Structure 1
Amino acid sequence: MSGEIIACQSPMSDQKTDKKSNTPFARRARHYLGNLLIVGIIRLALALPYRMRLSFHGWLVQHILAPLAGYRRRAMAHLEHVWPDMPKARRSEIATRCLNNLGRSFIENYSSEEFPARMAKVEPRGEGMAALEEARRTGRPAILVTGHFGNYEAARASLVARGYGIGGLYREMKNPYFNAHYVKTLEAFGGPVFPQGRRGTAGFVRHLKQGGRLVLLFDQHVQRAPILDFIGQPARTAVSAAELALRYDALLIPFYGIRQDDGVSFDVVVEAPVPHSDPLTMTQALNDSLTARIEENPEQWFWVHRRWRPHEK
């Protein structure tokens, strides 16, 4: 396939390392201590009642963790890149709410009992539900595609609760201590998960060929991938999801977990399948679908990811 499969990735995993502190011992120590801090924050948050937990972790990421990591600065730069004519105050508001959503999403995904139970009560809607049900009845594979928007695990949990076992491909974290418990959060939502890499991708494809359902996230930069339009700007975009859909005659269905104004509940939307044509056309349709969602709710997209690389033409 010409593009990398973009895996589910923790919203707090985009890290850079200092070469001087990158010896094996220093790296292990840094990973171990970093994981202790993360686990401590997670345990503190999980000890709180559900709504308070989300508010606390959203506040923590918004005001402390994300600014320290440079996420706010990156979000503001991306917003200026996409919407240079937007008033700076509005861009700042979007960045602030984006960071809060980032924090809420992270701790929701660690709420492995309460979060799926809540999402089980949310009825998914949209034109794609009929197609998804027909695919389940006939054994046709389906690829559900989404972006780092709202909380993508909310949509998966809602569908899993209705008998749609949905597998996924995940990108292993650089911190092995963090990765060990992060993978468990993915498995808790139902459906097999596969690590990115040759062996994981083989299992992923085998599951698809057997008529399974899989989720892919496609909205991160991929080197040497085709350049397509995304929110009005050129962006390298993996076409793997479309290639897999064509190769295995799978449905290609955009779906979203859209956070509501209360900050806790979600609307789950399953859009109509993207018609089969060619990988570029199909992937552009996915970009257009996500762009429409971002333009409607810009604060729900993860502006902190390095989506655009101006130096790479």
Structure 2
Amino acid sequence: MTQNGTRRPSGRGPGDRIVDLALRGAINTALALPYERRVAAMGALTARAIGPLAGYRRRARANLALIRPDLPAAERERIATAVCDNLGRTLIENYSGADFAARLPPQPQQGDGLDALAAARAEGRPVIFVTGHFGNHEAPRRVLTRMGYEIGGFYREMSNRFVNDHYAATMQGVSGPVFPKGRRGLTGFLRHLKAGGMATILFDLHDRNGAEIPFLGRPARTALTAAELALRFDALLVPYFGIRRPDGLSFEIAVEAPIPAAAPLDMMREATRRLEARITRDPGQWFWVHNRWKEPRKRR
């Protein structure tokens, strides 16, 4: 509820509908193109039009200035443009189903965690994969699915409910079940893990109830959920990443060694360090458009 007692927007207002219709139009137009042109076109459209209009490029520039003030303004602009291009490519790839899957390698090229993963499957032990909005976060799940693994997911729903309805559908049917954040989704997710299931959690969004963990040099509120559930269910905690190659279309898949069991805070610090290492190598592949270092609201 708002301060005057009226209900907050449900995410299905007129403005949400307009944004959804515009996005659907762009997606449907892109899907009519051959795959290579489709991905390149959606990247360019997001970098040159959607990103600036939606404020994504401005947010990326601001976050880069906050974290990397040492970089020349022209370099921050270049990275911000690359971020929007990657965002657009990722979006249309995830709507492209079999076309996207056909571009992925048959197995991870970086596989330090594969032996542990195979052992967990043989033992019926649950696995929680942790990753961030880097490259294409759905790429590793698709590759491992093709190798015979069934991997669900736990995700935060979008504020625009119209967009969320069809974007969530892109995650369904790829592998195991996906669960929205919330009481009902959490119940299903816990049952999935208890039965020895595997699932993915993206941990790089601001969580107002999370612990402060240094991320790229500044404290960021980070949920400890993945580590807490790993300890609760004796699950492996395995970072994985889908790294976009310079051609903009193909990927290198990394399944890293499991994070050793420890205090939840220490485990998520290590998960954060793993993601930081990827971002440092290629900052243009991380979604700097998120408000990761959100300042706490001041009480009136």
TM-score w.r.t. length of structure 1: 0.89
- Within 5 Å, give how 1:1-313 maps onto structure 2: 28-119=13-104, 121-311=106-296
Conserved 8 A contact 1:167-1:191: yes
Q: In 2, Cα distance between the equivalents of 1:128 and 1:134?
A: 10
Shift of 1:38: 1.4
Shift of 1:169: 1.5
Conserved 8 A contact 2:107-2:147: no
Shift of 1:108: 0.3
Q: In 1, Cα distance between the equivalents of 2:203 and 2:9?
A: 32
Shift of 1:25: 11
* 2:110 alignment partner AA: R
Conserved 8 A contact 1:80-1:91: yes
* Bigger mean CA deviation after superposition, 81-90 or 243-252: 81-90
Change in Cα spacing, 1:91 to 1:200, as seen in structure 2 (3 Å) is same
Q: Which runs of 4+ in 1 moved over 4 A?
A: 22-27
Change in Cα spacing, 1:124 to 1:184, as seen in structure 2 (3 Å) is farther
Q: In 2, Cα distance between the equivalents of 1:285 and 1:131?
A: 18
Q: Which has the higher contact order (CA 8 A, sep 6+)?
A: 1
Change in Cα spacing, 1:239 to 1:72, as seen in structure 2 (3 Å) is same
Q: In 2, Cα distance between the equivalents of 1:92 and 1:53?
A: 24
Shift of 1:191: 1.2
**Residue by residue, what CA displacement relative to the aligned partner does 1:230-253 show, whole Å, maximum 9, x if unpaired?**
111111111110000111100000
**Residue by residue, what CA displacement relative to the aligned partner does 1:86-125 show, whole Å, maximum 9, x if unpaired?**
2222111111111100100000000012112322635453
CA RMSD of aligned residues (A): 2.0
* 1:112 alignment partner AA: G
SS for the counterpart of 1:310 is coil
* 1:83 alignment partner AA: R
TM-score w.r.t. length of structure 2: 0.93
Shift of 1:184: 1.4
Change in Cα spacing, 1:100 to 1:122, as seen in structure 2 (3 Å) is farther
Shift of 1:27: 5.0
**Residue by residue, what CA displacement relative to the aligned partner does 1:118-151 show, whole Å, maximum 9, x if unpaired?**
2263545321011111101111100000000000
Conserved 8 A contact 1:112-1:188: no
Q: In 2, Cα distance between the equivalents of 1:135 and 1:289?
A: 21
Change in Cα spacing, 1:251 to 1:27, as seen in structure 2 (3 Å) is closer
Change in Cα spacing, 1:282 to 1:50, as seen in structure 2 (3 Å) is same
* 1:206 alignment partner AA: R
Which ranges in structure 2 are unaligned for 5 or more consecutive residues? none
- What is the percentage of aligned positions where both structures have the same residue? 51
